[in-house]
Amino acid sequence: MFTTFRGGQSGAWRITLNSAVRGEGLPAVPALAITESSSIALPLLASATAWRVAGVAGHLRYVEKAEKALLAEKQAPLGRKQATFAALIPIRKSAAWWALNQDERREILEAKSHHISASLKYLPQIARQLYHCRDLGEPFDFLTWFEYAPEHATMFEELVAMLRATEEWTFVEREIDLRLRLVE
C-alpha cells in the first residue's frame, strides 16, 4: 500500500510550518492531503498540487526482536481523535550512509545514537509511522509521519531535538520539517 502526501490548496491538514532543515525545501502551500492506494497517487490538478511525496509503510528495519515487541506494546495507533497536530519530515541520507553495511548502519542508529531506545519514552503520546521511498525513485529515502495531541507539542519538540543531535543525523543531507494541524 502506497501513501502519497500532496502539498497544495486543499486537504485535511493545514500546514503551520514548512522549514528546510537541511538542503532544498518544498514550495510553501496551505494544506496537505494524504492518499493511501495500491499505486502512487499522481497530482489531481497541477494548479492544486505544488508537490507530492510518496512512500510505503514496510516492515520495521534495523530493529531487534525485543525492540519490535516494545514498540508494538507502546505504539499508539494513528488517527486518534485527540491527535490533531502532526509532522511530516521527509529525509534523504547521504551516499556515505548507504555505502555502509547494514550492521554498520544499525550500530550508528541504535548503539551510538539510541534512536529506538531513546524514542520509546515518547510513546504512546506521539504516534509515528515511517514510510520507505528510497527504492521508489522518490526524492527522499524516508518520510516520517508523527501525530500527537496539542498538549504533547513540547514533548514532540524534545524528540526531534534529541534525534537531530545524534551521530545518525550527521548522515542526513536533506530534511524538511512540515508541521500540521487537523482541520476540524
- Structure-block grid coordinates of residue 79: 488517527
> What's the confidence (pLDDT) of residue 126?
97
Query: Which residues, 6+ apart, have CB-to-CB distance to 62 below 8 Å?
Result: 102, 105, 106, 109, 110, 116
Give tens-digit pLDDT for 143-159. Answer: 999 999 999 999 999 99
In the predicted structure, residue 44 carries a pLDDT above the cut 70: no
Query: Which residues, 6+ apart, have CB-to-CB distance to 149 below 8 Å?
Result: 80, 82, 83, 84, 85, 125
CB of 87 closer than 8 Å to CB of 179:
yes
In the predicted structure, residue 123 carries a pLDDT above the cut 70: yes
Lowest mean pLDDT among 1-5, 66-70, 101-105, 169-173: 66-70
Give tens-digit pLDDT for 52-76. Answer: 999 999 777 777 788 778 888 899 9
Assigned domain for 120 exists: yes
What whole-number distance in Å separates Cα of residue 9 and Cα of residue 161?
A: 30
Domain that holds residue 140: 57-182
Q: Give SS3 for 33.
A: strand
Q: What is the CATH number of the domain that holds 61?
A: 3.30.70.3420
CB of 13 closer than 8 Å to CB of 31:
yes
In the predicted structure, residue 128 carries a pLDDT above the cut 70: yes
Residue type, 88: L
Assigned domain for 5 exists: no
Query: Which residues, 6+ apart, have CB-to-CB distance to 103 below 8 Å?
Result: none
> What's the confidence (pLDDT) of residue 40?
74
What is the model's pTM? 0.91
> What's the confidence (pLDDT) of residue 62?
72
Specify the number of domains making up the chain. Answer: 1
